[in-house]
Chain A
C-alpha cells in the first residue's frame, strides 16, 4: 500500500456521480464506499444495484442521487441484470446499433451477495461476462433492521440471532465469500475497506480494467447496526484490518498478495470492544474469536507466500 494514501486526498477527483443529499444514516460506511467506488469509475459506467440500504437511500421517487445510468430491479439478481446489459451491449455493438462501451458494475449488500443472490452471482461469474461485482459488506441485512446474514461474524448480536440468556448471537463463522469468487477462476478478486480509500479506488480501477468478471469485496462499517458512535466509522474499519479480522488482499489471476501488512496484529479485543453488537461476549468467546482470526490470517499469509 502506498504511503501517500493518507495524505493525498487532493489527487482524487471532486466530481461525484453518487451525489450528496441522499438519505444514508450519518457515519454510513456503505455510502462512503459507494462514493469512492464511483469516483474511481468516472462517468462512463452503468450501475446495477440490488435492493438494500444503498438503493433505498439514493432513489426515492421523484429524486435520485445518481448522475450515471443506474438500474435496480430486485434483491437477488444484480449480477444477472448486469449480464443482460453486457449481452445487450455485445450484440448492439456488433450490429452497429449505438450503445457505448460503458463499464458495467453491479453492487449488492452482503445479504444480496452471500445469501439470496449467490446462485445468480455464481452463474454470472461462470459465464464469464465482462463486469465488476462489488459486495458492500456491512455484515447483516441492515435495510430491513439488522437481521443476520451468512456474513455476520461469530458472536455478533442481530435481530434474528440475538444474544440472550441462553444465546451469544451468531453461532457460525463468516462465510468466506472472496474464496468462493476465487473458486470461479475469475481474473480478479480483491478485498477493500473505505478506511483505506486509495487502496479501494486503485482496486476498483484494476478490477474494471480486466476483461471478464471481477469481484471486489468491500468491508463497510455500519454504526447503526453495529451500535457504535457515528464518528467511529473510519477508525473501526482500520481496526478491522489492523487486528486481522478483515485483511486487505488481492487475487490476481489466482495469485494471492497482501495489500497491507500490519507490522504486528493488534488483539481482536481492540476491534470488538467499541461495538454494541459484541458487548455480551465472555472472555472465553473473545478468546475463541482471537484463535480463529489468528489461524485464518496465518492461512491467508500462506496463500500469499509469506
Chain B
C-alpha cells in the first residue's frame, strides 16, 4: 500500500536510495546536502539499509570511492553541493567516461567567494559538460520519484551513464512536503537489481581507464557522446513506465498553461512552482502567458523543447547562474537551439535568484512584464540581472 508521509526533500531522496537498495554511498558533508547523507548514514546504522557508507575525507575522495564501487558492480549513490561538486570536478568526468551508472543528488548551491551556502545554479553550470545525465526536480515528490528513475535510467544496458538529480539548495532540499511512498515490492518491480556487463572481476579481467593517443581519443569520446544522446529514448521509456506504475507523469520538457500562450517563461528547478502561481495570476488578468519547465538538462531535449515553444511570440528565460562576461548559460543554449528554426519566438534572458535570493510571485510577474517591454523596445541580446539593489 502506498503511504503518504511528510518528508523533507532531502529525506525523500535518502528514502529513494534506501528503496533502491543501494550497496555503497560515499559522501562528505556540505550544506545544503548534508541531510541526505546523514539520513543515509542513520538508515545504515539502524539496519534499515544494507549498504556500506564510506565516510571519506573529501568530496574528491567521495567521487573517487564511487568510481571504484561502481566499477566493482555495486549500486552506488552519492550526494553533494556547490564547493563539494567543484572539488570533485575531475572525478565527475571519469564517471561518465568509464560508463559508471552512479547516481548523484546535487543540492544546488552558489559558489565562493563570497561564501554562500544558499542556492543557485552556478555549480550545475560548472558540470554542464561532464557527460552526466542531468535531471531537475521541483518538489519533494519529484525528488523521490526522479531519484528512483535516475537509477533505472543510469543502469539501463543501453545507457550505463551516471546521472545527477538536481534539487535546489534550501528552497527545496530543506522544505517539508507531503510525499507518496510506494511499497517496496512495487519499487523492486520497477527497479530490479542490475548487472553491469564489465566489472572488476578476476574471472573476467578487463582494463579500465587506459590512455588514448590522438589516433583513438576522438572515437572514444564520440562513442560516449552518442550514448548520452541516445539515452533520451531510454529516459522517455523510463518516465512512461514510471507513469504507468505509479501514476505520476514526467517528461523532459514540461509545460504549464502554454495552450494559446504568446509569451512563455522558462525555468529550471523549484522556482517553477512559484512561476506557475505567477502565470495563474496573469492568466486571470487575461494575459496570454504560459510556463515551460526544463526538466532534462542533459541530454538536451531539442525536439521536445522546440515543440513546446515554437508557436510562442516571446520566450523569457531565467538563468540562476552568471557566466561572467557572457550570456546566461541556459539562455545561450536556448537561443542556439532555436536559431535555425523558421518559426520561433524571440528570446529575452534574465539572470536571477543568485545565492539564495528569492523571486516571489510578484517578482516573476514583474520579470515577465519587463521582458515584454524589452522585447517591444527591441532590446534583445542584453544580459540583465533581475532584482539588483542600487
A binding-site residues for B, Cβ under 8 Å: 43-46, 48, 55-56, 59-62, 64, 66-74, 76-77, 80-92, 94-95, 97, 99-100, 102, 119-120, 122-123, 126-127
Smallest CB separation, B312 vs chain A (Å): 45
Interface Cβ pair total, 8 Å cutoff? 168
Report whether B52 and A87 are in contact in the complex, using a CB–CB cutoff of 8 Å. Answer: yes
Chain B residues with CB under 8 Å of chain A are: 23-24, 26, 50-52, 54-58, 60-61, 64-74, 76, 90-91, 94, 98, 193, 199-213, 216, 220
Extra 18 A-B pairs, beta carbons < 8 Å, given A120-B58, A120-B64? A48-B68, A55-B211, A61-B210, A69-B202, A73-B209, A84-B26, A84-B72, A86-B68, A87-B65, A87-B69, A88-B68, A88-B69, A88-B72, A92-B74, A97-B23, A99-B201, A119-B57, A119-B61
Q: Once bound together, how far apart are the Cα atoms of A228 and B37, in whole Å?
A: 53
B216 & A61 in contact (Cβ 8 Å cutoff): yes
Check A88 against B57 for contact (C-beta < 8 Å): no
CA distance A48 to B193 in the complex (A): 26
Contact B205 A70 (CB under 8 A): yes
**Which listed residue, B200, B216, B220, touches A85 by the CB 8 Å rule?**
B200
Alpha-carbon distance between A54 and B180 when the two chains are bound, in angstroms: 52
Q: List 15 A-B contacts (CB under 8 A).
A: A66-B205, A69-B200, A69-B206, A71-B67, A71-B71, A72-B209, A77-B60, A84-B72, A85-B71, A88-B74, A92-B23, A99-B73, A100-B202, A119-B57, A123-B57
Inside 8 A of A66's CB, which chain B residues have their CB? 205, 207
Task: Assess the B57–A122 pair: CB atoms within 8 A.
Answer: yes
Interface centre among B67, B207, B212 (most CB of A within 10 A): B207
Known: A66-B207, A69-B202, A81-B68. A60 touches B213 (CB 8 A): yes
Whether A59 contacts B58 by the Cβ 8 Å rule is no
Among A62, A83, A97, which residue has its beta carbon within 8 angstroms of that of B68? A83
For B74, what are the chain A residues with a Cβ–Cβ distance below 8 Å?
A: 87-88, 91-92
Closest B residue to A62 by CB, please name it: B216
Known: A43-B202, A67-B205, A72-B209. A95 touches B216 (CB 8 A): no
Q: Which residues of A contact B57 (CB under 8 A)?
A: 119-120, 122-123, 126
When C-beta atoms are compared, the residue in chain A nearest to B55 turns out to be A127
Residues on A with C-beta less than 8 A from B24 are 84, 87-88, 91
Count chain B CB atoms within 10 A of each CB in A45, A46, A64, A73 and give the residue with the most: A73
Nearest CB of chain B from residue A189's CB, rounded to whole Å: 20
Query: By the criterion CB–CB under 8 Å, are B26 and A100 in contact?
Result: no
Cβ A81 vs Cβ B212 within 8 A: no
B205 touches A60 (CB 8 A): no
The residues of B that contact A46 with a CB separation of less than 8 Å are 72, 200, 202
Contacting pair B216 A81 (CB below 8 A): no
Known: A74-B91, A81-B67, A85-B69. A95 touches B58 (CB 8 A): no
CA–CA, A119 and B74, complex, Å: 25
List the A side residues contacting B213 at CB < 8 Å. 60-61
- A101 nearest CB neighbor, chain B only: B202
Q: How many angstroms from the CA of A81 to the CA of B204 in the assembled complex? A: 19
Residues of chain A with a CB closer than 8 A to B65's CB: 80-81, 83-84, 87
Residue of A nearest to B98 (CB): A73
A91 to B26, CA, bound (A): 13
- Complex CA distance for A99 and B199, rounded to whole angstroms: 9
Distance in Å from the Cβ of A89 to the closest Cβ of chain B? 6
Minimum CB–CB distance for A238 against chain B, Å = 33
Q: Which residues of A contact B64 (CB under 8 A)?
A: 73-74, 77, 80-81, 84, 120
Q: Which of B61, B68, B202, B213: most chain A CB closer than 10 A?
A: B68
B212 — nearest CB in chain A belongs to which residue?
Answer: A61
